[in-house]
Amino acid sequence: MISINDTIFFIAFPSLVISFLLILIRIIKGPTLADRVIGLDSMGYIAIGFIICYSIYFNSPVLLDIVTVLALISFLGTAAFAYYIDKGKKDD
Give the Å distances, CA to CA, from 48 to 41, 87, 89: 11, 29, 32
Query: C-alpha 87: how far from its chain's center?
Result: 25
Count the Cβ atoms, other than its own, within 10 Å of residue 59: 7
- pLDDT confidence band for 76 (50 / 70 / 90): very high
Please tell me the distance from the alpha carbon of residue 66 to that of residue 54, in angstroms, as a whole number: 12
Domain boundaries, the chain: 4-91
| pLDDT reported for residue 37 | 86
Q: In terms of pTM, does the model score above 0.85?
A: no
Please tell me the distance from the alpha carbon of residue 32 to that of residue 88, in angstroms, as a whole number: 14
For the stretch 26-41, pLDDT in tens is 999 988 888 888 899 9
**Residue 92 confidence (pLDDT) above 60:** no
What is the average pLDDT value for the chain, to the nearest integer? 88
- pLDDT confidence band for 68 (50 / 70 / 90): very high
